[in-house]
Structure 1
Amino acid sequence: MAKLTRSTHPAPSFPEKILQFGTGVLLRGLPDYLVQQANAQGRFEGSIVVVKSTDSQTDEFSDQDNLYTVAVRGVQQGQDVAETSVVSAISRVLAAKTQWSQVLMLARNPKLQIIISNTTEVGLDYVEESIFQSPPQSFPAKLTAFLYERFRSVGGSKAKGLVVIPTELVTDNGLKLREAVEKLAQFNELGKLFTKWLKFHVRFCNSLVDRIVTRPTDEAKQAIQQEVGYDDELLTMTEPYHLWAIEGDDRVRQMLSFADASTPQIIIDEDINFYRERKLRVLNGTHTLTMPLGYLLGLETVADEMNHPTMSKFVESLMLDEIVPTVPDYDTPGMDKAAVKQFAHDVLDRFRNPHLDHLLLNISLQETAKMQARNVATIQRYYEKFNAAPKHIALGFAAYLLFMKAVKEKDGQFFGEIAVANDGKITYPIRDDKAGYFYGDWKIVKASSPATVEKFVKSVLSDPALWQTDLTALPGFVSAVTQHLNALLSNGAEKTLAKAVS
């Protein structure tokens, strides 16, 4: 088959209005995809210049004239979705290591309006370094160098200020990036006029991105390429659901002209905390509470959980009956209880998506930190609302404690073990900074001794270093978790789950 290029798929050219740091699938499957849709509808008519920082190889883009395919596959409101489109919004890809001067040249472009990034979670961290290297090492330093070049070329013009939107999965990512840039400006002695321009004419926006985007499996890639009739080394697979919430005012709305009433998936609001809290509690919190039990059942993916008749009931009940009622809402249309419930049903559709291999073991990374960040507040709010222990959350927490039980340690890596059919066993890595902590605590536990189980549960739940609070202060929570953990140890995950949802 022919390769995807502009010869086989002609596409219009537009002025370069966006600079993007990062070439990953999330950017390709969400912001770039949305810009493409706006261009196709005549609402933006701008292209994206992408900067690649990891290495100097950009052939995968240039070989395809910067085109790539987005394949949307999944379930939405109970209906199967299968859509495929070519994205032509990227005009060129520059390698920071070898083309830094060209990146800085773009700062002089009067049509440039927006900067987007998705580096890594640590990519927003401040690193004390000179911005006059070619190129600077850290992303904040690269951005500072670019903004300083912009300032110098436009003479501090208010009209040539920019909107900067990081999409890294960090709370208050815009504020964190602004802080790093301001520190670098001070360290590099860039002057008061630049600092003033930065403060008043460069808007750093907190943002939240929500869409699962992956590279397709070899099998899926082959099938899609046969369907579209060309080879695409940049083929990108996404779920139907997508949301991009951006914290901004009227000026931001004006600059982001690709977002209007026809794109409800892009939300621009002066406060996006509702969307962040909703996603953290409903989607991420459910993942964290259900992953251990699903894995103890011998399941591999989120879709497997939703195909398991008993586990799927548990997931739905936990989310809809115990998490959703605790999510704070603003009592306004789009940010009210109805919006939280609708989001939860959307999430259940997303969990059922058979086209995405969302591995449970990948979700288990740093499970303890995730449990604290995503679910402790939910447990506390449940008590405030119902004055009782949430029974499904308690089972999820008990399964988490059992998942954290390491049976061996090798070179600082801890491993757990589950039983499978025909008396077999599967060993799994416990990729958690607290694995050693639990390895020691589990040694006091004897499966045949409920008293040792209760002592273990009390010790863990009372530790403020883990939870930033004492969870034993919640009436009945120790008892509920202990009861479920005893059941898991004595009867196994399948029987314990069946009793819990009956």
Structure 2
Amino acid sequence: MPSIAQARGHRYPVRMAHLGLGNFHRAHQAWYTQHANALGMDADGWGIAAFTGRSPRAAEALSAQDCVYTLVTRAADGDSAEIADAISRAHDGAGAEWEHTIADPSVAVLTVTITERGYEPAQQQTESAGARIVRGLRARARASAGDIALVSCDNLRGNGEALRLAVLREVDDGRLARWIGEHVAFVSTMVDRITPATTDADRAATRELIGHDDAVPVVTEPFSEWVVCGEFPAGRPAWHSVGVRFVDDVEPYEQRKLWLLNAGHTLLAATGMPRGHETVAEAFADPECRGLLEELWAEARVLLPFDATETDAALAALRTRFANPRIAHRLLQIDDGGLQKLRQRQVAIITRRLDAGSEPGRASLATVEAWGRAHGLDLAEALDVLQPGLARRVYLR
């Protein structure tokens, strides 16, 4: 059977870079870029140089098939496939090609998907994501390559500002700090598309769909959303023409996602795994988990600055997405990094409700309690691990 590498047609010139090459980037930012390229509004199009964050394996596997891959959209009633080619090059992020790319004046945008933990200082002798970006920006400044937009695509509130702080923390040169202040725009976004890890069964299904061998297909859900807030001083793809929403304030959309989708996932992971469930769809089908989830959504929706019609529509879409049995979104994958995720999700809901003079929310507390139980903590201990003094606020309100 022929390799999918033979499906490569036009190779777009590299005008974007990405740090954190993985399935989500290929299903989201690269997918939007591909669809913008297809409109032909920019004659040259936008190609992406994608870099791995930790291991070089993803870049090696993608490069082996000329950076062409299959995006499989998995709906409840069947699969559809498209060939994706917006990534023009894939590299190990630790290599010298990183600095060469960021120093290229043709590169106008750097998107990042480095997970919540990527915004923290590096442990031991490893290079942090912020330090790697500074290394690239230093090369760009030396080359007088001009302005660039850095676009955070991770599940953090104020992720553009979080990225700016992570970068500036690694700068020890006053001149470079001034250059960054003058030439680098930090853009905040809200991103959403469930993209599970690829399995051997997915690779076999892809082969049946397209008639090519593809070692690294991406399987994703039909739903996708991208909300962007910030400036692009050197230009960007025509994302606005393919469904990307550009807004003056991204925070309400971040809250909607964190407190409805992400907090819902955390609840299903914390309460579903002890009941033997492995996926979101399995836990969602469990009446006990589903009942707590609906309570959580009731607790969170009153905190959101959207009217009832918009929130109802968002929740209806979530119910459809969570019920899709053909998207195997693993609860174990959601549970990874639970401490940081709980702080952004359930703890934020609890504290916002307490600040408003309301009770903390039974479903939010049940999620924290289930997480604490898995780590040998009672509810009060778990609350204080997540936020010192929170147990006192909960119990003495």
- The residue number in structure 2 matching 1:314 is 291
Residues 149 and 186, structure 2, Cα contact 8 Å, conserved in 1:
yes
Is 1:141 paired with 2:141?
A: no
Change (3 A) 1:81 1:241: farther
The residue that corresponds to 1:421 in the other structure is: none
Measured after TM superposition, the shift of residue 402 of structure 1 is: 5.9
Structure 1 residue 258 corresponds to structure 2 residue 238: yes
Equivalent residue for 2:151, pick from 150, 155, 165 = 165
> 1:223, 1:128 → 2: CA distance?
39
**Is it true that 1:394 corresponds to 2:362 in the alignment?**
yes
Residue 377 of structure 2 aligns with which residue? 437
1:358-413 C-alpha deviation (Å, 9 max, x unpaired):
233444456576555423554566689896x68xx5267457636744xxxxxxxx
| Distance verdict in 2 for CA 1:322–1:114, change over 3 Å | same
Corresponding position of 2:118: 123
User: In 2, Cα distance between the equivalents of 1:362 and 1:22?
Assistant: 17
Q: How does 1:45-194 map to 2 (within 5 A)?
A: 45-57=45-57, 58-75=59-76, 80=77, 82-97=79-94, 99-100=95-96, 102-126=97-121, 137-154=127-144, 160-185=146-171, 187=172, 189=173, 191-192=174-175, 194=176
- Unmatched tracts of structure 1, length 5 or more: 131-135, 330-334, 406-429, 439-456, 475-502
Aligned letter for 1:61? L
Give the number of the structure whose alpha-carbon radius of gyration is greater: 1
Identify which of 30, 38, 43 aligns with 1:32: 30
Q: CA deviation at 1:161?
A: 0.2
Change (3 A) 1:398 1:13: closer
Distance 2:123 2:340 in 1: 28
Residue identity in the other structure for 1:465: P
Quote how far apart the aligned CAs of 1:46 are: 1.1
Counterpart CA distance in 2 for 1:462 and 1:46 is 47
The residue identity in structure 1 corresponding to 2:242 is T
Distance 1:56 1:302 in 2: 30
Tell me by how many angstroms 1:24 deviates: 1.0
CA contact (8 A) 2:228 2:250 kept: yes
From 211, 215, 235, the equivalent of 1:229 is: 211
Specify the SS of the correspondent of 2:185: strand
**What amino acid is the match of 2:395?**
T
The answer on whether the counterparts of 1:81 and 1:240 sit within 8 Å (CA) in structure 2 is no
The 1:397/1:368 distance shift into structure 2, 3 A limit, reads farther
Distance in 1 of aligned mates of 2:345 and 2:208: 41
Per-residue deviation, 1:467: 2.8
**For structure 2, which runs of at least 5 residues remain unmatched after alignment?**
none
Residue 145 of structure 1 aligns to a residue whose secondary structure is helix
Contact 1:290 1:396 in 2 (8 A): no
8 A Cα contact 1:129 1:141, kept in partner: no
Q: Is the 8 A contact 2:384 2:391 kept in 1?
A: no
Whether the 8 Å CA contact 2:17–2:102 is kept in 1: the answer is no
Superposition deviation, residue 96 in structure 1: 4.0
- Residue range with higher mean Cα deviation, 281-290 or 374-383: 374-383
In 2, Cα distance between equivalents of 1:294 and 1:55: 31
Q: Deviations over 1:250-294 (max 9, x none)?
A: x46x8223321x323x22223211011111111122233444443
Match of 1:327 among 290, 303, 320: 303
Q: Is the 8 A contact 2:272 2:289 kept in 1?
A: no
User: In the alignment, what sits opposite 1:442?
Assistant: none
With the length of structure 1 as denominator, give the TM-score of the two structures: 0.68
TM (normalized to structure 2)? Answer: 0.85
Distance 1:219 1:462, change over 3 A: closer
